[in-house]
A and B are shown apart, each in its own frame.
Chain A
Amino acid sequence: QVQLVSSGSEVKKPGASMKVSCKASGYNFISYHLHWVRQAPGHGLEWLGTVNPHGGSTTYAQTFQGRLTMTTDTSTSTVNMELSGLKFEDTAVYYCTRVRSYCSNGVCHYYFDSWGQGTLVTVS
């Protein structure tokens, strides 16, 4: 079955960088884009961006342009998400999630069918 397992919790200082990894298994890694979503304590879900494991192209949320980097390692079926210039408000659980598509009338629509367990990053 599809599994996404992310790295362990981290504590970081303001201004530092964080790197969270997500290892995929149970499916053809390069066939599905992976996205990152975060959730600050007591808050809702926030989309960060996406990476295509086949080629490494990325799209980032405008809010994070310039301090977010997503990479892939096809040899280990792992995606990495690095956020620099950490602020207190970056404290959150960071989830990786796989996207699938449903196409209708020439337009494709996307949804997140599998999620990792989440990684808590605390900026303190």
Chain B
Amino acid sequence: SSELTQDPAVSVALGQTVRITCQGDGLGRFYASWYQQKPGQAPTLVVYGNDKRPSGIPDRISGSSSGNTASLTIAGAQAEDEADYYCNSRDSSGNQYVFGTGTKVTVL
């Protein structure tokens, strides 16, 4: 399969915790990366290698993986975390890259 499936939208109260999931066959073999995209902007990397944060990404954002599911958790969500989030990995063949369907995170 060449699909990565995400929930279309989630909401979280300010200061609370939200988890976004990404499911796909390739995730059992290849690690996921996660991208945050705000309106009118290019995506930015927030997690790579399933659970590693680039410099400058706050530690309230974390990644994990189990089996064919990768997850992104925002603990203590802030207003600036409101954005679209996309996972990415390779498909099960390893030859093609695929993005998840995207999750819109709303901070209430």
Contacts and interface: CB of A to CB of B under 8 A. Distances in A.
A44 B103 CA distance: 9
Interface of A: 35, 37, 44-47, 50, 59, 61-62, 95, 97, 100, 102, 104, 107, 109-113, 115-118
Interface residues of B, number: 27
B15 interface: no
A35 B42 CA distance: 14
A91 to B, nearest CB: 16
Contacts of A102: 31, 48-49, 52
B42 A111 contact: no
Given A95-B42, A107-B30, A113 B54 contact: yes
Interface string B5-42: 00000000000000000000000011101010100001
A59 B102 CA distance: 24
Nearest to A102: B49
Given A44-B102, A111-B33, A59 B52 contact: no
B31 A45 contact: no
- In the complex, the 4 A-B pairs of residues with the closest C-beta atoms, listed nearest first: A111-B33, A111-B48, A109-B31, A44-B102
Contacts of B90: 110
B49 A115 contact: no
A44 B22 CA distance: 14
User: Which of A37, A45, A100, A107: most chain B CB closer than 10 A?
Assistant: A45
Contact of A44 (B31, B33, B101): B101
A95 B37 CA distance: 13
Given A102-B31, A110-B97, A45 B42 contact: no
A112 B96 contact: no
Contacts of B29: 107
Interface in B40-99: 42-45, 48-49, 52, 54, 84, 86, 88-90, 95-99
